[in-house]
Structure 1
Amino acid sequence: MNRSRLCIALVAILAFVLTACGGGGSSPSGPTEIAVWHGYQDTEGEVFKSLVAQYNKDHPDVKVSELYSSNDLVLQKVLTAVRGGSAPDVAYMFGSWSPNIAQIPQVVNMADEVKNPDWKWDDFYPAEREAATVGDKIVGVPALVDNLAIVYNEKLFADAGVAPPTKDWTWDDFRAAAAKLTDPTKGQYGWLIPADGSEDTVWHYLPMLWEAGGDILNSDNTKAAFNSPEGVKALTVLQQMAVNDKSVYLDTTNENGPKLMNSGKVAMLITGPWDLSQLSDISYGVQVMPTFAGSSGGHQTIAGPDNWVVFDNGDAKKKAAVDFVKWLSAPEQVKTFSLGTGDLPIRTSVGQDQSVLTKLNENVPGTATFVENLSNVQKVRPTVEQYPDVSEALGQAIVSVMLGKEQPADALNSAATAADTALAEK
């Protein structure tokens, strides 16, 4: 399943949506009713419904109703609902939206709440907590996390006489393997990368940037920093593979990864756990990201944490909404949801439970590696409102280089100029 959370929505509509008030509490004669908006479907939807039913059974003073809302569209829907005084009590929202969410007055700041020891806030992975934090506000509670790793076709490696990826692989090793796994006569490529210029394209570059020792923005998030020598070093690898080696399939539609891997046309993807269930026609392995030889950056990856956001619709509703989110994100429910859906656990205590890892791997082989790979998440994307503009400029630069239209330094400098212009706008 392709995670639409990788896509960054433009949110200019927020500028004129900050004044409406939410609804009041429920009737004193019955349970407090709260509405939860989410984008879960299929197996995720069924498991979530069962958890809601369990909560309602165990908490007769509260009635939770759940409503499906497309994850891609939920920010716009929430802003419209806030304007009309009908905001949900809880909504599943992308972590990349946190700076924009923080501006909505009806959003409950969870900072004081999660300080309470029974929340065990430190049990959430650091990247999740960082993605939910904007200044002194905590705008949500982790709902989902994922990351990127190498997924490879074991048969194609064996046929080409190439040793499988190891935890010690460098980008030189990755590049050499991709070249050996490329066979133009068969239309076979060593690697596929999303090349539509979207946030998915940027996601594949950012771990390389961090591993090389670079960063997206400067320390106070006022200027682009990706056009550094480290940024050029990372992008040069993509240029060498795409332009010189021609070992990379540039997926300009961002839709072909699992299909081409299943058909034996692609030997490696750098992707997340959502794609594993689609690789039903091949035997595959999973390994952590390569790193740069001699770099102290390590085998970094990137996470895409999403959040449960609580809205203040009156004291009774707010209290019930906070309690539901607290219950939903507690270790026992996290374990139930992860084992039921195959999604990665959002708590370290659950992710370190060997019985959970074993069961996840039995259900979908390779999932445990993605769980363990969460320890390689050291940085998150900057929580600034202008990030969509930064991402767009950087994504176009990456694609331009991979298509052979620009040199890495020139492309990154042009993107940095566009990013700086956006960052300067208040």
Structure 2
Amino acid sequence: MRPYLHGRRRLRGRRRTMVSLATAVSAAVLLSACNGAMSSSDRKDAAAGYDKKADVTLTWWTGQTPEAQKTAEQLAQQYHQAHPNVTIKTSQGADTADELLPKITAGYQDGSYPDVSYAYGSWAGQLAAGGHTQDLTDYVQKPDFGWEDFPGAAQRTATSNGIVMGIPALVDNLALIYNKKIFDDAGVGYPTDNWTWDQFRTAAKKLTDQEKGVWGTAYSVAGGEDTTWHLWPLLWQRGGAILSGKRPAFNSAEGVAALETLRAIAVDDKSMWLDPTDEKYGAMFRDGKIGMMMSGPWELLELAQTNVKYGVVQLPGFKGDHQTVSGPDLWVLFDHDDADRAGASRDFVKWLTSKDIDAKWNLAIGNLPVRDIEQFTPQFFAYTQEYPGGREFFENLENARQSRPTVTGYDDMSRNVGEAIASVLQGKSKPKEALDLAAAKSVGPLSGS
């Protein structure tokens, strides 16, 4: 299944402009939270008393493109044939995946939210705060579920305040994709997995030829999550943190140094093309105008349609640390005070994310497998043959050792940080003052005030 372009990133067309919804969504979430958000001290099993033979109708919001939606409907029918008592009403849920969050939270007021919905991982804290997500903590630990098969970053993203509230639907990460022809034309050696950021900067400068419209690298300055999450690996590699408790910590010395690394390439060297959107730099790369880009496996689907000769290596590192960031998305399961619906939704998503079904779903359309065990399937081998670089992205999941916080207020903070990065890369402000301002603006949303 291919999500609505997972901005993160090409905010996948990931895919996400989620932060523009922050004000309305935060208000809805806070209202719902006041009406009884779930906490670790107030846990219940939504599926207690579940009768597997009961007739049940589930609503599944897939968040997929029209093409992928057809596959989802086929899967729903396949599940129904094997479980005749379970009927699954399948729809995209909204015109775009970005619109799912406000629609779900609005549905908290009248009970119109679905049983299962696709959700960006960065929404986990907000959705859980509404008090209507199922507590799956004990369920996923059952031996037959195979929770350990999911990458650690995906497990953490599905967990908010210590409670598992969703099942990973998609996994990814950022790596370095490079255009071999541009490197060859400039006489520069290809990147390796051991590259440092200094080597990256040197190469970007050598690759840049503005008279020919060729840039060493690129970065989005749209100010959304695609802008923000590209900074987190550099922060983590230096030993910094996004938060300390519920307070911003990204404006530390490590955060300033991370942003300075990017500023030097963009402002001093002028070897970074600044994308005013979060969608154009991928096309520029495919057109032979960008030598290197930090991006994810979704790019491989586009590159497979071209003749571009490219390579994929892990991100440049700092003192041997090559951490990356992963942006897993989720199948979030909701509680309607109906044990049969809750239990049936769990069984369905367990089936959907099983090794055999996911291999026919995610791998078939170019996404990474959600379970590590799928690397041994024929489908994974076929995936790596069809999409060169796919195995490198899969192996790079081991470098995703930390996750973005699943807390209410992350989207507001992301927007503040994204605007700070954009300002710095455009030469309008300095890293320290920009990050300090972003931190000050983020304190209230993170604390819930």
Same fold, TM exceeding 0.5? yes
The one-character-per-residue Cα deviations of 1:44-97 (angstroms, maximum 9, x if unpaired) are 333323322221111112112211123111111112223222221111111111
Counterparts of 1:66 and 1:356, CA distance in 2:
26
Counterparts of 1:187 and 1:339, CA distance in 2:
35
SS at match of 1:86: coil
Identity in percent: 40
155-164 vs 387-396, which moves further: 387-396
SS at match of 1:84: coil
Where do 5+ consecutive residues of structure 1 fail to align?
none
Counterparts of 1:147 and 1:45, CA distance in 2:
24
Counterparts of 1:124 and 1:137, CA distance in 2:
16
Name which of 262, 269, 287 aligns with 1:245: 269
Counterparts of 2:247 and 2:430, CA distance in 1:
21
Equivalence for 2:87: 63
Equivalence for 1:311: 334
Residue 337 of structure 1 deviates from its aligned partner by 1.4
Equivalence for 2:116: 90
Counterparts of 1:6 and 1:326, CA distance in 2:
29
Equivalence for 1:412: 435
Counterparts of 1:420 and 1:311, CA distance in 2:
29
Name which of 9, 31, 35 aligns with 2:55: 31
Name which of 192, 203, 210 aligns with 1:184: 210
Name which of 103, 111, 124 aligns with 2:129: 103
Equivalence for 2:401: 378
Name which of 46, 62, 68 aligns with 1:44: 68
Where do 5+ consecutive residues of structure 2 fail to align?
6-11, 37-45
The one-character-per-residue Cα deviations of 1:183-213 (angstroms, maximum 9, x if unpaired) are 0211110001111111111111111111111
Equivalence for 1:340: 364
Residue 323 of structure 1 deviates from its aligned partner by 0.8
Residue 5 of structure 1 deviates from its aligned partner by 4.3
Say whether the 8 Å CA contact 1:47–1:340 is kept in structure 2.
no
Counterparts of 1:348 and 1:239, CA distance in 2:
36
Counterparts of 1:77 and 1:354, CA distance in 2:
37
Say whether the 8 Å CA contact 1:7–1:200 is kept in structure 2.
no
SS at match of 2:80: helix
Q: Specify whether residues 162 and 102 from structure 1 end up closer, same or farther in structure 2 by C-alpha distance, changes over 3 A only.
A: same
SS at match of 2:311: strand
Equivalence for 1:396: 419
SS at match of 1:249: strand
Alignment of 1:20-419 (within 5 A): 31-69=55-93, 70-218=96-244, 220=245, 222-279=246-303, 280-292=306-318, 294=319, 298-313=321-336, 314-350=338-374, 352-353=375-376, 355-419=378-442
Residue 182 of structure 1 deviates from its aligned partner by 0.2
Say whether the 8 Å CA contact 2:32–2:131 is kept in structure 1.
no
SS at match of 2:362: helix
Counterparts of 2:443 and 2:109, CA distance in 1:
31
Say whether the 8 Å CA contact 2:352–2:358 is kept in structure 1.
yes
Matched letter for residue 85 of structure 1: G
Give the superposed CA RMSD: 2.3
Counterparts of 2:92 and 2:362, CA distance in 1:
19
Residue 180 of structure 1 deviates from its aligned partner by 0.6
Say whether the 8 Å CA contact 2:301–2:366 is kept in structure 1.
no
TM-score between both structures, scaled by the size of structure 2: 0.87
How many positions carry a matched residue from both structures?
Answer: 416
118-127 vs 306-315, which moves further: 306-315
Counterparts of 1:141 and 1:189, CA distance in 2:
39
Residue 425 of structure 1 deviates from its aligned partner by 4.1
Q: Specify whether residues 423 and 89 from structure 1 end up closer, same or farther in structure 2 by C-alpha distance, changes over 3 A only.
A: closer
SS at match of 2:416: helix
Q: Specify whether residues 161 and 192 from structure 1 end up closer, same or farther in structure 2 by C-alpha distance, changes over 3 A only.
A: same
Q: Specify whether residues 16 and 396 from structure 1 end up closer, same or farther in structure 2 by C-alpha distance, changes over 3 A only.
A: same
